[in-house]
Amino acid sequence: MTDDHPGLVAEVFTEPTGNTVALAGDLDLATVDVLIGRAGSALDQGKPGTLTLDFAGVRFCDSVGIGALVQLRQRCDHAGWQLRVVNMQPSVRRTLVDLCGLGSYLNVVETPTMG
């Protein structure tokens, strides 16, 4: 299932352990409803598991996007799901993990660096 918006595309994948929402674009005031809608749909499918947000294609996340991520974490907790965020771009990681300190709360999975 996909949801296209000029600034953000979200695709939901069903997996044995839960669901993944793959995102591409910017997460901001204009696009946050795409994330909330797709993630909400993923939480409504099947028994609780892990909701994975794949941020590989997310180039930018503003304060509204950060608020939406906190809201999704709370919704997951309430529904018995575990939230995790994977594949963050360095600039988005700096905002969410380094500046806001949300790495543990959002269960950010660090990707190994090449070197």
**Partners of 83 in the beta sheet?**
51
pTM of this structure: 0.91
**Partners of 82 in the beta sheet?**
50
- Reported as a single tens digit per residue, the pLDDT across 46-94 is 789 999 999 999 999 999 999 999 999 999 999 999 999 999 999 999 9
What radius of gyration, in Å, describes the C-alpha atoms of the chain?
Answer: 13
Domains and CATH numbers, the chain: 2-109 (3.30.750.24)
Q: Which helix (H) or strand (E) element contains residue 41? A: helix 32-43
Mean pLDDT score of the chain, rounded to an integer? 91
